[in-house]
Amino acid sequence: MQILFNGLATGAIYALIATGFALIFNVLKFSNFSHGATMTAAAFVAYFAFSSGGHGLFSTLLVAALAGALIALFGEFVGFRRIIANNSPSTYYFVSSITLGTLYEGLVTIKAGSNFYNFPRFFKNPTIRVGELAISTSDVVMLVISIVVLIVLGFVIQKTQLGRALRAVSFDRDTAQLMGINSTRIIQIAFIVSGLLAGIAGVFLGVKYTLYPTLGNLVVKGFIASVIGGLGSLHGAVIGAFLLGILETVLLYVMGSGYSTIATFAIMLLFLLLRPQGISGSNVAEKA
């Protein structure tokens, strides 16, 4: 039970990463490789804003989410808007996302150096005991918040006019434009939502592990979850993330950290070989 809950908490964080990653892929059909650096930069903004302590988790998450949204919107404006408008070759998407990611990571490194940082302790009681089961308080809170955020996002996408516009642009951007949908604005909103999720995920990773300039490399876990769930599928990304979190925690307990990472990548390769469309059955051609 302890391993299972730890896996669910880890999977919830991966779900936020994977959903933000998959949202841009779903709308624009390319992988935004600056997503991890956006996550790191937003988490550091929140850390330095509240490094003196005395602030709660929710205010830290709010600042990180807003910072992530602004950073992602800046990336859309500087790195992608003209490329999208001109239907540029796939290489342009790849180079732009890598360049933006390198820029964000470089700025964080200049400010933070190569040091490791820890968020202040947000909870007086670090563990919750249920019988013989000891559960981390931060894991419980992160799991609950992540699930609430994902439910709200799912409701918006499935039940609101904005969500219908997002799905229409995802299906066919040009036709959606002809139907009166402002595709540019919808793409901006997709980047904003992606940045919000990145900021929240960055803080959670900093709380669960530690905060360092290359934290964004963990975005690969979101990519693996998207592959398992099905690239281009948001609910598939969530399913894949929770499965990955549980699987990784079990493998970490059984095999140790080194072998568990190798096994995780091996499972992703198996999915690519045997079921490339993922669990959800979504199969989307990627531009980059």
Mean pLDDT by 10 residues, the chain (288 residues): 85 91 84 88 90 76 94 90 76 83 88 83 80 83 93 92 90 84 90 94 90 85 83 82 88 77 82 78 49
User: What pLDDT shows up at residue 286?
Assistant: 46
User: What pLDDT shows up at residue 136?
Assistant: 84
User: What pLDDT shows up at residue 204?
Assistant: 93
Cβ 83 vs Cβ 91: under 8 Å: no
DSSP letters spanning 127-171: EEEETTEEEEHHHHHHHHHHHHHHHHHHHHHHHSHHHHHHHHHHH
User: What pLDDT shows up at residue 126?
Assistant: 77
User: What pLDDT shows up at residue 51?
Assistant: 66
Q: What are phi and psi of 134, to 5 degrees?
A: -110, 115
User: What pLDDT shows up at residue 173?
Assistant: 82
The CA distance from 222 to 24, in Å, is 13
Nearest to 58 by CA among 178, 155, 144, 125: 144
The CA distance from 24 to 19, in Å, is 9
The CA distance from 76 to 187, in Å, is 8
Q: Which neighbouring-strand residues pair with 135?
A: 128
The CA distance from 63 to 46, in Å, is 6
Q: What are phi and psi of 233, to 5 degrees?
A: -115, 120
The residue type at 99? T
Q: What pTM value is reported for the model? A: 0.89
Cβ 83 vs Cβ 242: under 8 Å: no
User: What pLDDT shows up at residue 281?
Assistant: 60
User: What pLDDT shows up at residue 287?
Assistant: 45
Give the CA distances from residue 162 to residues 49, 103, 231, 237, in Å, rounded to whole numbers and listed in that order.
Answer: 32, 31, 22, 21
